[in-house]
A and B are shown apart, each in its own frame.
Chain A
Amino acid sequence: MMDAESRFRDPSSLFFQFDTIRRYIIASYWVLITLALPLWWTTTSIERLPLPTSEVYAQAQKKLEIPLAICVDSAFSSHITSLQRSIRDAASYLDVQAHPGQDCSQFPGYAILPGEQILVEDRKLYYPPSADNLASTLASLLAPKMDHRAAQYSPRFRLSFTLLNEDSSAGQVITSWDIQQAIARHIHPITSALGILHNYTIESQVQYHALLAFEPRSLSNGTVFGLTPEDLTIFINSAEWTLSSSSSNDPVFHFVLFIPSARRRPLTILNSDGTPSSSSAFLIPQWGGIVILNLPPPPPTTLHLDLPDLQSSFSSFSRHLLTLLGFPRLPPSISYSSSSNTSLSSWQIDTLLRQRIHENVIQSHNTLQSTVTLVSQIDGMPVDEQVQSQVQGSLSTLHELFRYASVNLTFAEMLAYSAQALTLSSKAFFHPGMLAMLYFPAEHKYAVYTPLFASAMIPLLAAALREIAAWRKERREARAVGDVREATSGDGPKVDTKSVL
């Protein structure tokens, strides 16, 4: 017997419901949730490919030894050990093999030959046998300290030459300059000699109104104007002057030829004690060079600067450029051989190459190490295939460099290897894909996810539980009925089972 109320409460008795269909519906939700869980997991997890961490640390422990064979004339054979030691002390990355020889003048590499005065010629050093500090001279020639004014290594540099008329309205204006010839004469020799190190882009411009942001000091009744050392640090009026185009991301060296206004001429640089300096050029470390060109006041109002006018300015610029590129200076005691036609000796170029190779290797070691430590430190940082391959590429380039360095690589090839390792490692480090997930505190996550999931999960859970309970109840009842049937069938003859059903 069932009363009406319990009939409606029991889902199985509703006319439009069938147990099986209802259970399929509820089960389908759960099947979908279980199927969606792995999808949710894979789409929300961050791709973190493994990086060759132990390899990176092992590589960072290694030190590159650049082989350097020097033929030492028999006149200096007693100096060989002290010579080797002093170079090693100055630069531990050099693997110096100094060996005595009779005909060092024919030797293709570095050679130390007896001469009357200290001279360099190509890769030969002439040295008077009587002079004693050969070891220290050689050390300063082969491994000088890197100038802090030099820029960090970059495969590409942009050189920007600017002619600045301070105030064209004041009278005289320079409208053009023989920049192409000046560059060809003063800058190209450097860029071609050091073309092995960097790729250079050159741009130039002329500006007509470039006011200083301060008033130069007036000396001797306003006939001479002076710039104090403090003035020089604020000389560049960066708020008003546009000194280079922003067409690429390469580092830029700026070279500014400043023509003071006709009203404020001559403009001189003052020493710290206030006396006029003999120089009219100064260098801003890692930034560029500035030359102040005081023209005599001639009648014409417009003017063209031709090559002879630019001679001294551009020789300053070329000196600045060499400093900015880290080109080592010859020790003062050494002079160039009269037969060579350039101040860029192979000694210095090779030294710069070796320094840059050493720097690049150290730098790529550091960058690789930083990459792996950073990835292990910051959990939310993704590491994709590209980063992985860049790290591996950098590593394998370094491996090759280290393997072949002692065998048969020229300095130029070693530099190419080291530059590539550096480029790849920094590309990996600054890969745009490695942007870490934003940090959210745990309580924020609960605060966001609970209202979202709780409201959906509670009815689902409740329905599932109720259904399971109903199913178990049914089974229990079925079993009870079965028991009854068994019990009655055991008593066979007494009860007619059919009458019970």
Chain B
Amino acid sequence: MVEEKENTASANTAAGQEPVSKKGAKKQAKAAKKAEQKAGTAAALAADDAAGDNAADHASGRYGLSEMIQSKDKRSEREFVSVPELSSHVGKGLVWVRGRVHTSRSKGKQCFLILRQQSSTVQCILAVGDIISKQMVKFAGNIPKESIIDIQAKPVSVPTRIESCTEQLLELCVEQIFVISQAKAQLPLQIEDASRPENADEADGLNIRVNQDTRLDNRVLDLRTPANQAIFRLEAGVCRLFRDILTEKGFTEIHTPKIISAASEGGANVFTVSYFKDSAYLAQSPQLYKQMAIAADFDKVYTVGAVFRAEDSNTHRHLTEFVGLDLEMAFKYHYHEVLHTIGNTFTAIFKGLRDKYSREIEAVGQQYKVEPFKFLEPPLILEFAEGVAMLREAGIETGDEEDLSTPNEKLLGRLVKAKYDTDFYILDKFPLSIRPFYTMPDPNNPIYSNSYDMFMRGEEILSGAQRIHDPEYLIERAKHHGIDTTKIAAYIESFRYGCPPHAGGGIGMERVVMLYLGLDNIRKTSMFPRDPKRLTP
């Protein structure tokens, strides 16, 4: 076939360029003859097919398009088995399996079909015989990819491993096949392309990639890749662990309003929404409400919910809407009680992910090569001044009261990793001048404050502090920062009826998942990301 193609191609170019030479004429003749032959065989094949179609179909009723399921029958006699469980059904007769057509190719009297269920795949085979007719094989070969099908089949073990599937030791001999929901024949992206491993150094491998925007435009298809399945299962794990661990530590989950009357922090980057005859804002952070819950005697609270930031920054780590995991806790005498609680919560989440989600982590690793996340237990706590000293030792000039710039932050992350071999650490005692007005100053050194940041792989994920719980002192600090106290009157008022000393912090769920897995873009860890340029799907 290849040879023939080459011939016709060269003949065409020859014909188009110059008067046909003797050799060229010969070639043309040859090509014409071949084309004739091809047409002949095609006609024969068609005739054969037609004959087959016309021939009595002894398998009719065992395949076809199923009518739309409207919950007419219960069909409780059909017992379905999930793909990972198939191995225990080998040699035990027929089973029903529902899944998607991952690929299907028919070749003469046989059809190989790979059935996918989430991240698990299994090979199915249809061969013309007593049970299966030629028409059935043809039908199976023509089912569009990604259609959902029901099959009844016999699991049998195979002598050689099937490398292309997750179930490598068995295949399914299909006896019945029904299409439940058909997919469009043309897909905007191929699942194989979307799940191809990203090996930058492997030059000889197939280099077809799916662009990030194409993925996000067709998120439903993109999410079917094994890596995405794993990412969002792991994300659910982060949320679950956060809730479980904090609940165990005596925290109460609260829900805070997302439509608020005044901007909680600053005010520049809030979304305005119309609210009947007035306008309202979307909450940038649940902080005020967390603190009010503390003042209302809830002692330890956390909240999981959407947070909105109207920041027009198109970076790999900013979203306009994300899920915030926030916690606030009253303490007895020292804010380190809270710092250690938050730090230990993180360590427990990391341990939970390491121990319970190793399969998901591995699945993500198949596509995106990253180093596993390392951490210490108990978490490493460095003081801001120590961090600055480490940077200076590395030859970076930075001031004592200067905030860490993004490159310095990353460098410090690398230095800490080189010295302590941990991807997670806490920086304590930030300079007072770079923190918000409600941060409690350090009583021992006026330059510093009782505030902390936590870092994963050199990027900040949590910023927290002991908050000032004394209204008079709060007013003093607000004035020092030049803040109009009338605008924050409600905030100050909430401390007037007695409030325990408290501290807390908040993290972005997407950012934590991204950094835990070492992914390069936060859009990979948000199911339907919102950024300044994307509002759909």
Q: Do A and B come from one complex?
A: no
A-to-B contact residues, CB < 8 Å? none
